[in-house]
Structure 1
Amino acid sequence: MKKFAIIFLSFFILCCSADNDEPIKQVSVKLNFTHNWGGTALDADDFNKFDFENQESNVLSIERLRYLISRINLIKSNNDTIKFEGYKLVVLDSLGDGLIHELPETISEGTYNLSFTFGFDDNDNISGNYPDLNTANWNVHAEKPGGYHFLQLDGKFKDTTDVQYPYEFHAIKAYDAATDSLKDTSFKLNLGSVSLTNNATIEIKMDLSEWFKNPHAWDLTERSTDLMMNFDAQLDMSDNGKNVFRLGGITQ
Protein backbone atom coordinates (compact mmCIF):
# COMPACT_ATOMS: atom_id res chain seq x y z
CA MET A 1 0.00 0.00 0.00
CA LYS A 2 2.83 2.37 0.88
CA LYS A 3 4.55 1.58 -2.41
CA PHE A 4 1.32 2.29 -4.30
CA ALA A 5 0.95 5.67 -2.55
CA ILE A 6 4.47 6.66 -3.53
CA ILE A 7 3.85 5.71 -7.17
CA PHE A 8 0.56 7.63 -7.22
CA LEU A 9 2.18 10.72 -5.69
CA SER A 10 4.98 10.62 -8.25
CA PHE A 11 2.43 10.33 -11.07
CA PHE A 12 0.43 13.30 -9.66
CA ILE A 13 3.52 15.50 -9.45
CA LEU A 14 4.50 14.54 -12.99
CA CYS A 15 1.05 15.44 -14.30
CA CYS A 16 1.05 18.78 -12.49
CA SER A 17 4.47 19.60 -13.86
CA ALA A 18 3.28 18.80 -17.36
CA ASP A 19 0.24 21.06 -16.90
CA ASN A 20 2.43 23.89 -15.64
CA ASP A 21 4.67 23.57 -18.67
CA GLU A 22 1.80 24.26 -21.06
CA PRO A 23 2.48 27.55 -22.87
CA ILE A 24 0.20 30.48 -22.09
CA LYS A 25 -1.79 31.41 -25.18
CA GLN A 26 -0.94 34.74 -26.77
CA VAL A 27 -3.84 36.65 -28.31
CA SER A 28 -4.14 39.72 -30.50
CA VAL A 29 -6.63 42.49 -29.70
CA LYS A 30 -8.42 44.97 -31.93
CA LEU A 31 -10.61 47.87 -30.82
CA ASN A 32 -13.67 48.59 -32.96
CA PHE A 33 -15.20 52.04 -32.45
CA THR A 34 -18.93 52.23 -33.14
CA HIS A 35 -21.28 55.18 -32.85
CA ASN A 36 -24.86 55.79 -31.87
CA TRP A 37 -27.28 58.52 -30.88
CA GLY A 38 -29.11 57.54 -27.73
CA GLY A 39 -28.78 53.87 -28.65
CA THR A 40 -29.68 54.19 -32.35
CA ALA A 41 -26.77 53.11 -34.52
CA LEU A 42 -25.12 55.86 -36.56
CA ASP A 43 -22.62 55.75 -39.42
CA ALA A 44 -21.45 57.95 -42.28
CA ASP A 45 -24.64 57.24 -44.25
CA ASP A 46 -26.42 59.34 -41.63
CA PHE A 47 -24.32 62.43 -42.34
CA ASN A 48 -26.02 65.65 -43.51
CA LYS A 49 -29.45 64.58 -42.27
CA PHE A 50 -31.36 66.51 -39.62
CA ASP A 51 -32.22 63.31 -37.79
CA PHE A 52 -30.89 64.19 -34.34
CA GLU A 53 -32.24 66.27 -31.48
CA ASN A 54 -30.35 67.11 -28.32
CA GLN A 55 -31.62 67.71 -24.81
CA GLU A 56 -32.10 71.43 -25.51
CA SER A 57 -34.36 70.60 -28.49
CA ASN A 58 -31.74 71.63 -31.07
CA VAL A 59 -32.39 69.69 -34.27
CA LEU A 60 -29.02 68.99 -35.85
CA SER A 61 -27.07 67.13 -38.48
CA ILE A 62 -23.61 65.58 -38.36
CA GLU A 63 -21.13 66.23 -41.15
CA ARG A 64 -17.81 65.18 -39.63
CA LEU A 65 -16.60 63.14 -36.67
CA ARG A 66 -12.96 62.62 -35.72
CA TYR A 67 -11.41 62.05 -32.31
CA LEU A 68 -8.18 60.90 -30.73
CA ILE A 69 -7.44 58.24 -28.13
CA SER A 70 -4.07 57.44 -26.58
CA ARG A 71 -2.38 55.56 -23.71
CA ILE A 72 -4.38 52.35 -24.11
CA ASN A 73 -3.85 50.04 -21.13
CA LEU A 74 -4.95 46.53 -20.19
CA ILE A 75 -4.82 46.08 -16.41
CA LYS A 76 -4.69 42.71 -14.65
CA SER A 77 -6.45 41.96 -11.36
CA ASN A 78 -3.14 42.36 -9.49
CA ASN A 79 -2.83 45.85 -11.08
CA ASP A 80 -0.01 44.80 -13.40
CA THR A 81 -0.53 47.01 -16.44
CA ILE A 82 0.24 46.38 -20.09
CA LYS A 83 0.82 49.77 -21.68
CA PHE A 84 0.55 50.12 -25.44
CA GLU A 85 2.51 52.71 -27.34
CA GLY A 86 0.89 54.93 -29.93
CA TYR A 87 -2.52 56.50 -30.43
CA LYS A 88 -5.50 56.27 -32.74
CA LEU A 89 -7.22 59.00 -34.73
CA VAL A 90 -10.73 57.58 -35.14
CA VAL A 91 -12.45 58.81 -38.29
CA LEU A 92 -16.07 58.11 -39.14
CA ASP A 93 -16.36 58.10 -42.93
CA SER A 94 -17.83 56.08 -45.79
CA LEU A 95 -14.74 53.86 -46.03
CA GLY A 96 -15.07 52.59 -42.48
CA ASP A 97 -11.37 51.75 -42.19
CA GLY A 98 -10.71 54.50 -39.65
CA LEU A 99 -12.68 52.71 -36.93
CA ILE A 100 -10.40 49.75 -36.16
CA HIS A 101 -7.28 49.94 -34.04
CA GLU A 102 -5.12 46.84 -33.62
CA LEU A 103 -2.98 46.84 -30.50
CA PRO A 104 0.68 46.65 -31.56
CA GLU A 105 1.59 43.50 -29.62
CA THR A 106 -0.04 40.28 -28.47
CA ILE A 107 -0.87 39.62 -24.82
CA SER A 108 -1.48 36.58 -22.63
CA GLU A 109 -5.04 35.32 -22.46
CA GLY A 110 -6.86 36.36 -19.32
CA THR A 111 -9.14 38.96 -17.77
CA TYR A 112 -8.22 42.64 -17.91
CA ASN A 113 -9.67 46.09 -17.34
CA LEU A 114 -9.50 48.24 -20.44
CA SER A 115 -8.58 51.91 -20.13
CA PHE A 116 -7.48 54.72 -22.44
CA THR A 117 -7.04 58.47 -22.52
CA PHE A 118 -9.33 60.65 -24.60
CA GLY A 119 -7.05 63.09 -26.42
CA PHE A 120 -3.45 63.66 -25.40
CA ASP A 121 -2.40 64.44 -21.84
CA ASP A 122 0.19 67.16 -21.27
CA ASN A 123 3.08 64.71 -21.61
CA ASP A 124 1.99 63.79 -25.15
CA ASN A 125 0.30 66.96 -26.37
CA ILE A 126 3.38 68.50 -27.96
CA SER A 127 2.94 70.76 -30.99
CA GLY A 128 4.29 69.36 -34.24
CA ASN A 129 5.42 66.09 -32.69
CA TYR A 130 3.33 63.69 -34.82
CA PRO A 131 3.84 63.90 -38.61
CA ASP A 132 0.75 61.82 -39.44
CA LEU A 133 -1.48 64.05 -37.31
CA ASN A 134 0.08 67.13 -38.87
CA THR A 135 -0.75 65.73 -42.32
CA ALA A 136 -4.32 65.09 -41.16
CA ASN A 137 -4.54 68.78 -40.12
CA TRP A 138 -5.17 67.66 -36.56
CA ASN A 139 -2.84 70.15 -34.89
CA VAL A 140 -4.07 73.32 -33.17
CA HIS A 141 -2.69 76.24 -35.16
CA ALA A 142 -2.90 78.81 -32.36
CA GLU A 143 0.35 79.23 -30.42
CA LYS A 144 -1.64 78.85 -27.21
CA PRO A 145 -2.79 76.33 -26.23
CA GLY A 146 -1.01 74.61 -29.13
CA GLY A 147 -0.84 70.84 -29.27
CA TYR A 148 -3.54 68.83 -31.01
CA HIS A 149 -7.30 68.47 -31.23
CA PHE A 150 -9.06 65.83 -29.17
CA LEU A 151 -12.38 65.98 -31.05
CA GLN A 152 -13.91 67.48 -34.18
CA LEU A 153 -17.69 67.09 -34.36
CA ASP A 154 -19.19 69.35 -37.02
CA GLY A 155 -22.55 69.85 -38.61
CA LYS A 156 -25.52 72.21 -38.73
CA PHE A 157 -28.48 72.95 -36.48
CA LYS A 158 -31.82 74.66 -37.00
CA ASP A 159 -33.18 77.51 -34.94
CA THR A 160 -36.84 77.89 -34.04
CA THR A 161 -37.56 79.46 -37.45
CA ASP A 162 -35.92 76.53 -39.28
CA VAL A 163 -32.89 78.60 -40.34
CA GLN A 164 -29.70 76.53 -40.50
CA TYR A 165 -26.46 77.48 -38.76
CA PRO A 166 -23.12 75.66 -38.52
CA TYR A 167 -21.70 74.25 -35.31
CA GLU A 168 -18.09 73.24 -34.66
CA PHE A 169 -17.85 71.16 -31.51
CA HIS A 170 -14.05 71.00 -31.24
CA ALA A 171 -12.26 69.87 -28.07
CA ILE A 172 -8.68 70.92 -27.31
CA LYS A 173 -6.60 71.83 -24.27
CA ALA A 174 -8.36 74.72 -22.51
CA TYR A 175 -6.79 78.16 -22.65
CA ASP A 176 -7.98 81.25 -20.79
CA ALA A 177 -6.56 84.28 -22.60
CA ALA A 178 -7.71 86.65 -19.85
CA THR A 179 -5.50 84.97 -17.26
CA ASP A 180 -3.05 83.32 -19.69
CA SER A 181 -3.76 79.99 -18.00
CA LEU A 182 -3.90 76.47 -19.46
CA LYS A 183 -5.76 73.37 -18.31
CA ASP A 184 -5.43 69.79 -19.53
CA THR A 185 -8.90 68.67 -20.61
CA SER A 186 -7.95 65.15 -21.71
CA PHE A 187 -9.37 62.44 -19.47
CA LYS A 188 -8.72 58.80 -18.68
CA LEU A 189 -11.53 56.25 -18.88
CA ASN A 190 -11.72 52.76 -17.42
CA LEU A 191 -14.35 50.93 -19.47
CA GLY A 192 -14.48 47.77 -17.36
CA SER A 193 -13.52 44.12 -17.54
CA VAL A 194 -12.81 42.08 -20.66
CA SER A 195 -12.11 38.34 -20.69
CA LEU A 196 -9.81 37.35 -23.56
CA THR A 197 -9.40 33.68 -24.51
CA ASN A 198 -8.71 34.02 -28.24
CA ASN A 199 -7.87 36.73 -30.76
CA ALA A 200 -10.50 39.33 -29.99
CA THR A 201 -12.22 42.44 -31.31
CA ILE A 202 -13.57 44.68 -28.54
CA GLU A 203 -16.36 47.12 -29.38
CA ILE A 204 -16.15 50.60 -27.89
CA LYS A 205 -19.39 52.52 -28.27
CA MET A 206 -19.64 56.31 -28.47
CA ASP A 207 -23.06 57.82 -27.78
CA LEU A 208 -22.87 61.20 -29.52
CA SER A 209 -25.98 62.49 -27.77
CA GLU A 210 -24.04 62.51 -24.49
CA TRP A 211 -21.72 65.27 -25.78
CA PHE A 212 -24.70 67.63 -25.52
CA LYS A 213 -26.32 66.19 -22.44
CA ASN A 214 -24.59 65.14 -19.25
CA PRO A 215 -23.78 66.84 -16.93
CA HIS A 216 -24.03 70.04 -19.01
CA ALA A 217 -27.08 70.45 -21.25
CA TRP A 218 -25.74 72.12 -24.40
CA ASP A 219 -27.77 74.71 -26.30
CA LEU A 220 -26.29 75.20 -29.78
CA THR A 221 -28.11 78.51 -30.15
CA GLU A 222 -25.80 79.84 -27.42
CA ARG A 223 -22.58 77.88 -28.00
CA SER A 224 -21.98 76.59 -31.51
CA THR A 225 -18.77 78.10 -32.96
CA ASP A 226 -15.54 79.71 -31.73
CA LEU A 227 -15.44 77.17 -28.94
CA MET A 228 -11.73 76.35 -29.13
CA MET A 229 -10.75 79.54 -27.32
CA ASN A 230 -13.72 79.40 -24.96
CA PHE A 231 -12.18 78.21 -21.68
CA ASP A 232 -15.46 77.34 -19.96
CA ALA A 233 -16.80 75.54 -23.03
CA GLN A 234 -13.71 73.34 -23.13
CA LEU A 235 -14.13 72.42 -19.48
CA ASP A 236 -17.79 71.53 -20.06
CA MET A 237 -16.91 69.41 -23.12
CA SER A 238 -14.41 67.49 -21.03
CA ASP A 239 -17.03 66.87 -18.34
CA ASN A 240 -19.59 65.64 -20.87
CA GLY A 241 -17.06 63.45 -22.66
CA LYS A 242 -16.62 61.28 -19.58
CA ASN A 243 -20.14 59.92 -20.19
CA VAL A 244 -19.82 59.29 -23.92
CA PHE A 245 -18.06 55.90 -24.10
CA ARG A 246 -19.28 52.43 -23.16
CA LEU A 247 -17.83 48.95 -23.51
CA GLY A 248 -19.65 46.96 -26.17
CA GLY A 249 -19.49 43.33 -27.25
CA ILE A 250 -16.39 41.17 -27.65
CA THR A 251 -15.94 38.96 -30.70
CA GLN A 252 -13.50 36.03 -30.27
Structure 2
Amino acid sequence: MKYFLTFFLSALLFSCSSDNDESIKEVSVKLKFSQNWDGTVIEKSDLENTEFTNKTGSKLSISRLRYLISRISLVNGAGDTTKFDSYKLIDVSKPDSLTYALSKKVSEGSYKLLFTFGFNNDDNKDGEYPDLNSVSWNADSVGGYHYMQLDGKYKDTLGVENSYNFHAVRAYDKEKDSILDTSFGVETGSILLKSNATIEIKMNVAGWFKSPNDWDLNDKSINLMPDFEAQKEISENGKSGVFSLGAISQ
Protein backbone atom coordinates (compact mmCIF):
# COMPACT_ATOMS: atom_id res chain seq x y z
CA MET A 1 0.00 0.00 0.00
CA LYS A 2 2.87 2.34 0.89
CA TYR A 3 4.54 1.76 -2.48
CA PHE A 4 1.24 2.22 -4.29
CA LEU A 5 0.65 5.56 -2.54
CA THR A 6 4.18 6.72 -3.40
CA PHE A 7 3.64 5.74 -7.04
CA PHE A 8 0.26 7.48 -7.13
CA LEU A 9 1.65 10.74 -5.70
CA SER A 10 4.58 10.66 -8.12
CA ALA A 11 2.23 10.14 -11.06
CA LEU A 12 0.02 13.00 -9.84
CA LEU A 13 2.97 15.37 -9.52
CA PHE A 14 4.20 14.39 -12.96
CA SER A 15 0.72 14.99 -14.36
CA CYS A 16 0.50 18.44 -12.73
CA SER A 17 3.96 19.28 -14.01
CA SER A 18 2.89 18.25 -17.52
CA ASP A 19 -0.24 20.40 -17.24
CA ASN A 20 1.85 23.37 -16.14
CA ASP A 21 4.24 22.86 -19.04
CA GLU A 22 1.32 22.84 -21.44
CA SER A 23 -0.23 25.97 -19.91
CA ILE A 24 2.91 28.06 -20.40
CA LYS A 25 3.73 26.95 -23.94
CA GLU A 26 5.40 29.79 -25.84
CA VAL A 27 5.17 30.50 -29.56
CA SER A 28 7.13 32.55 -32.08
CA VAL A 29 5.33 35.12 -34.23
CA LYS A 30 6.24 36.41 -37.65
CA LEU A 31 4.49 39.23 -39.53
CA LYS A 32 3.94 39.05 -43.28
CA PHE A 33 3.05 42.25 -45.14
CA SER A 34 1.03 42.07 -48.35
CA GLN A 35 -0.31 44.78 -50.63
CA ASN A 36 -3.36 44.81 -52.87
CA TRP A 37 -5.58 47.11 -54.91
CA ASP A 38 -9.15 46.39 -53.80
CA GLY A 39 -8.27 42.70 -53.65
CA THR A 40 -5.86 42.46 -56.60
CA VAL A 41 -2.46 41.49 -55.23
CA ILE A 42 0.41 43.94 -55.81
CA GLU A 43 3.89 42.41 -56.06
CA LYS A 44 7.32 43.51 -57.18
CA SER A 45 6.53 42.47 -60.77
CA ASP A 46 3.64 44.97 -60.85
CA LEU A 47 5.89 47.98 -60.23
CA GLU A 48 5.84 50.20 -63.35
CA ASN A 49 3.96 47.46 -65.22
CA THR A 50 0.39 47.29 -63.90
CA GLU A 51 -2.23 50.01 -64.28
CA PHE A 52 -4.82 50.67 -61.58
CA THR A 53 -7.81 53.02 -61.43
CA ASN A 54 -8.58 55.02 -58.30
CA LYS A 55 -12.02 56.10 -57.11
CA THR A 56 -11.99 59.42 -58.99
CA GLY A 57 -11.17 57.63 -62.26
CA SER A 58 -7.46 58.41 -62.51
CA LYS A 59 -5.43 55.62 -64.12
CA LEU A 60 -2.10 55.15 -62.42
CA SER A 61 0.91 52.90 -62.09
CA ILE A 62 3.16 52.37 -59.08
CA SER A 63 6.94 52.65 -59.35
CA ARG A 64 7.76 52.66 -55.65
CA LEU A 65 5.92 51.72 -52.47
CA ARG A 66 7.68 51.87 -49.13
CA TYR A 67 6.12 52.35 -45.70
CA LEU A 68 7.10 52.12 -42.07
CA ILE A 69 5.39 50.66 -39.02
CA SER A 70 6.50 50.98 -35.40
CA ARG A 71 5.46 50.30 -31.80
CA ILE A 72 4.33 46.75 -32.48
CA SER A 73 2.63 44.98 -29.58
CA LEU A 74 0.45 41.97 -28.78
CA VAL A 75 -2.30 42.30 -26.17
CA ASN A 76 -3.81 39.14 -24.66
CA GLY A 77 -7.35 38.59 -23.43
CA ALA A 78 -6.46 39.73 -19.90
CA GLY A 79 -5.16 43.04 -21.23
CA ASP A 80 -1.47 42.20 -20.69
CA THR A 81 0.74 43.77 -23.35
CA THR A 82 3.94 42.42 -24.89
CA LYS A 83 5.76 45.31 -26.56
CA PHE A 84 8.29 45.01 -29.35
CA ASP A 85 10.15 48.32 -29.26
CA SER A 86 11.20 48.30 -32.86
CA TYR A 87 10.16 49.45 -36.31
CA LYS A 88 10.00 47.90 -39.75
CA LEU A 89 10.45 49.46 -43.20
CA ILE A 90 8.51 47.55 -45.84
CA ASP A 91 9.59 47.92 -49.48
CA VAL A 92 7.56 46.18 -52.18
CA SER A 93 10.62 46.10 -54.45
CA LYS A 94 12.47 44.02 -51.85
CA PRO A 95 10.56 40.79 -51.10
CA ASP A 96 12.85 40.02 -48.15
CA SER A 97 11.47 43.10 -46.37
CA LEU A 98 7.90 41.78 -46.44
CA THR A 99 8.35 39.48 -43.43
CA TYR A 100 9.38 40.36 -39.92
CA ALA A 101 10.04 38.00 -37.00
CA LEU A 102 9.03 39.48 -33.65
CA SER A 103 11.92 39.51 -31.19
CA LYS A 104 10.17 37.77 -28.28
CA LYS A 105 8.01 34.68 -27.88
CA VAL A 106 4.56 34.92 -26.29
CA SER A 107 2.38 32.41 -24.48
CA GLU A 108 -0.20 30.70 -26.64
CA GLY A 109 -3.67 32.20 -26.46
CA SER A 110 -5.87 34.91 -27.94
CA TYR A 111 -4.32 38.26 -28.85
CA LYS A 112 -4.88 41.55 -30.64
CA LEU A 113 -2.02 42.91 -32.72
CA LEU A 114 -1.35 46.64 -32.50
CA PHE A 115 1.09 48.83 -34.41
CA THR A 116 1.62 52.44 -35.47
CA PHE A 117 1.73 53.54 -39.09
CA GLY A 118 4.87 55.67 -39.30
CA PHE A 119 6.55 57.15 -36.22
CA ASN A 120 4.65 59.09 -33.59
CA ASN A 121 6.12 62.43 -32.54
CA ASP A 122 8.05 60.92 -29.62
CA ASP A 123 9.90 58.56 -31.97
CA ASN A 124 10.11 60.81 -35.03
CA LYS A 125 13.44 62.48 -34.30
CA ASP A 126 15.78 63.87 -36.95
CA GLY A 127 18.73 61.61 -37.73
CA GLU A 128 17.92 59.16 -34.91
CA TYR A 129 18.00 55.97 -37.00
CA PRO A 130 21.18 55.30 -39.05
CA ASP A 131 19.63 52.46 -41.06
CA LEU A 132 16.78 54.73 -42.19
CA ASN A 133 19.19 57.55 -42.96
CA SER A 134 21.15 55.22 -45.22
CA VAL A 135 18.10 54.53 -47.41
CA SER A 136 17.01 58.19 -47.69
CA TRP A 137 13.96 57.81 -45.47
CA ASN A 138 14.40 61.29 -43.98
CA ALA A 139 11.64 63.86 -44.55
CA ASP A 140 13.86 66.90 -44.96
CA SER A 141 11.14 69.42 -45.80
CA VAL A 142 9.20 68.84 -42.55
CA GLY A 143 11.75 67.06 -40.34
CA GLY A 144 11.75 63.57 -38.96
CA TYR A 145 11.05 60.63 -41.25
CA HIS A 146 8.59 59.53 -43.87
CA TYR A 147 5.68 57.28 -43.01
CA MET A 148 5.19 56.23 -46.64
CA GLN A 149 6.51 56.85 -50.15
CA LEU A 150 4.04 55.92 -52.89
CA ASP A 151 5.27 57.10 -56.29
CA GLY A 152 4.41 56.50 -59.91
CA LYS A 153 2.66 57.89 -62.98
CA TYR A 154 -0.94 58.86 -63.60
CA LYS A 155 -2.86 59.98 -66.67
CA ASP A 156 -4.50 63.38 -66.44
CA THR A 157 -7.88 64.34 -67.95
CA LEU A 158 -6.24 64.64 -71.39
CA GLY A 159 -4.58 61.24 -71.12
CA VAL A 160 -1.15 62.77 -70.63
CA GLU A 161 1.12 60.87 -68.24
CA ASN A 162 2.39 62.78 -65.21
CA SER A 163 4.33 61.89 -62.08
CA TYR A 164 2.79 61.69 -58.62
CA ASN A 165 4.50 61.54 -55.22
CA PHE A 166 1.98 60.42 -52.62
CA HIS A 167 4.17 60.79 -49.53
CA ALA A 168 2.91 60.56 -45.95
CA VAL A 169 4.77 62.50 -43.24
CA ARG A 170 3.86 64.42 -40.12
CA ALA A 171 1.83 67.53 -40.92
CA TYR A 172 3.66 70.83 -40.58
CA ASP A 173 1.70 74.09 -40.37
CA LYS A 174 4.13 76.66 -41.68
CA GLU A 175 1.98 79.66 -40.73
CA LYS A 176 1.69 78.56 -37.10
CA ASP A 177 5.08 76.82 -37.03
CA SER A 178 3.41 73.81 -35.44
CA ILE A 179 3.48 70.06 -36.03
CA LEU A 180 0.51 67.70 -36.07
CA ASP A 181 1.19 64.02 -35.45
CA THR A 182 -0.53 62.28 -38.38
CA SER A 183 0.73 58.80 -37.60
CA PHE A 184 -2.06 56.49 -36.49
CA GLY A 185 -2.58 53.25 -34.63
CA VAL A 186 -3.88 50.04 -36.18
CA GLU A 187 -5.55 47.29 -34.14
CA THR A 188 -6.54 43.89 -35.48
CA GLY A 189 -9.34 41.65 -34.35
CA SER A 190 -8.75 38.60 -32.17
CA ILE A 191 -5.93 36.24 -33.20
CA LEU A 192 -5.68 32.77 -31.65
CA LEU A 193 -2.06 31.71 -31.34
CA LYS A 194 -1.71 27.99 -30.64
CA SER A 195 1.66 27.33 -32.28
CA ASN A 196 4.38 29.25 -34.13
CA ALA A 197 2.46 31.60 -36.41
CA THR A 198 2.74 33.93 -39.38
CA ILE A 199 0.23 36.78 -39.31
CA GLU A 200 -0.58 38.55 -42.58
CA ILE A 201 -1.11 42.31 -42.49
CA LYS A 202 -2.82 43.54 -45.66
CA MET A 203 -2.57 47.05 -47.09
CA ASN A 204 -5.25 48.05 -49.60
CA VAL A 205 -3.36 50.69 -51.58
CA ALA A 206 -6.58 51.86 -53.25
CA GLY A 207 -7.80 52.93 -49.82
CA TRP A 208 -5.32 55.81 -49.70
CA PHE A 209 -7.30 57.48 -52.48
CA LYS A 210 -10.81 57.17 -51.02
CA SER A 211 -12.97 57.43 -47.92
CA PRO A 212 -13.42 59.86 -46.37
CA ASN A 213 -11.45 61.94 -48.89
CA ASP A 214 -11.83 61.09 -52.59
CA TRP A 215 -8.37 61.86 -53.95
CA ASP A 216 -8.08 63.42 -57.40
CA LEU A 217 -4.48 63.25 -58.60
CA ASN A 218 -5.27 66.00 -61.11
CA ASP A 219 -5.59 68.35 -58.14
CA LYS A 220 -3.03 66.95 -55.67
CA SER A 221 -0.20 64.82 -56.98
CA ILE A 222 3.14 66.43 -55.99
CA ASN A 223 4.55 68.65 -53.23
CA LEU A 224 2.30 67.00 -50.66
CA MET A 225 4.85 66.82 -47.85
CA PRO A 226 4.69 70.52 -46.86
CA ASP A 227 0.91 70.62 -47.48
CA PHE A 228 -0.66 70.58 -44.01
CA GLU A 229 -4.22 69.84 -45.18
CA ALA A 230 -3.07 67.14 -47.60
CA GLN A 231 -1.25 65.30 -44.82
CA LYS A 232 -4.33 65.44 -42.61
CA GLU A 233 -6.44 63.94 -45.41
CA ILE A 234 -3.88 61.20 -46.13
CA SER A 235 -3.96 60.25 -42.45
CA GLU A 236 -7.78 60.25 -42.39
CA ASN A 237 -7.90 57.92 -45.40
CA GLY A 238 -5.34 55.60 -43.84
CA LYS A 239 -7.32 55.35 -40.62
CA SER A 240 -10.50 54.38 -42.45
CA GLY A 241 -9.41 50.84 -43.24
CA VAL A 242 -6.30 50.71 -45.42
CA PHE A 243 -4.86 48.01 -43.13
CA SER A 244 -6.59 44.76 -42.28
CA LEU A 245 -5.85 41.32 -40.88
CA GLY A 246 -5.16 38.64 -43.47
CA ALA A 247 -4.41 34.94 -43.25
CA ILE A 248 -2.87 33.35 -40.16
CA SER A 249 -0.74 30.27 -40.79
CA GLN A 250 0.29 28.01 -37.90
Q: What's the TM-score once normalised by structure 1's chain length?
A: 0.91
Alignment of 1:67-146 (within 5 A): 67-93=67-93, 95-142=94-141, 145-146=142-143
Residues 172 and 234, structure 1, Cα contact 8 Å, conserved in 2: yes
Contact between 1:85 and 1:104, CA under 8 Å: does it hold in 2? no
Task: Give the CA deviation at 1:10.
Answer: 7.1
Partner residue, 2:244: 246
Equivalence for 2:40:
40
**Equivalent position SS for 1:219:** coil
In structure 2, the partner of 1:49 is: 49
Matched, 1:214 2:211: yes
SS across alignment from 1:198: coil
* Alignment correspondent of 2:156: 159
Whether the aligned pair in 2 keeps the contact of 1:212 and 1:218 (CA below 8 Å) is yes
Checking the alignment, whether the CA contact within 8 Å between 2:157 and 2:218 is kept in structure 1 is no
Matched position secondary structure for 1:240: helix
Q: Which residue of 2 aligns with 1:62?
A: 62
**1:151 to partner: Cα distance:** 0.4
Which stretch of structure 1 is more off in the superposition, 46-55 or 174-183?
46-55
Identity %: 49
- The secondary structure found in structure 1 opposite 2:45 is helix
Letter matched to residue 62 of structure 2: I
Task: Give the match's secondary structure for 1:56.
Answer: coil
CA deviation profile, 1:153-177 (whole Å, cap 9, x unmatched): 0001001221011000001010011
Question: Are 2:213 and 1:202 aligned?
Answer: no
Distance 1:234 1:82 in 2: 31
CA deviation profile, 1:208-236 (whole Å, cap 9, x unmatched): 00000111000000000000000000000
Q: Which 10-residue stretch deviates more, 77-86 or 10-19?
A: 10-19
Change (3 A) 1:13 1:210: same
Query: Secondary structure in 2 aligned to 1:129?
Result: coil
AA of the residue aligned to 1:51? E
Partner SS, residue 97 of structure 2: coil
Q: Aligned runs of 1:20-31 on 2, under 5 Å?
A: 20-23=19-22, 24-31=24-31
Root mean square deviation, CA, Å: 1.9
Q: Give the distance between the partners of 1:40 and 1:60, measured in 2 at CA.
A: 14
2:234 is matched by which residue type in structure 1? Answer: M
Q: 1:17: how far off? A: 2.8
Query: Following TM superposition, by how much is the alpha carbon of 1:12 offset from its aligned partner in structure 2, in angstroms?
Result: 10
Task: Tell me, in whole angstroms, the C-alpha distance in 2 between the residues paired with 1:146 and 1:47.
Answer: 28
1:139–1:149: 8 Å Cα contact kept in structure 2? Answer: yes
Whole-Å separation in 1 of the counterparts to 2:111 and 2:230: 34
Counterpart amino acid of 1:87?
A: Y
Distance 2:204 2:20 in 1: 45
Distance 2:20 2:164 in 1: 60
Instruction: Give the corresponding residue for 1:182.
Output: 179
Which amino acid in structure 1 is aligned with residue 193 of structure 2? L
Aligned-partner SS, 1:86: strand
Instruction: Flag structure 1 segments of 5+ consecutive residues without an equivalent.
Output: 1-5
**Separation in structure 1 between the aligned mates of residue 173 and residue 21 of structure 2, nearest angstrom:** 58
Is 2:228 aligned against 1:231? yes
The number of equivalent residue pairs is 243
Q: Is the 8 A contact 1:50 1:59 kept in 2?
A: no
Could you report, residue by residue, the CA deviation over 1:38-58 in whole angstroms, capped at 9, with x for unpaired residues? 011111111113520001100
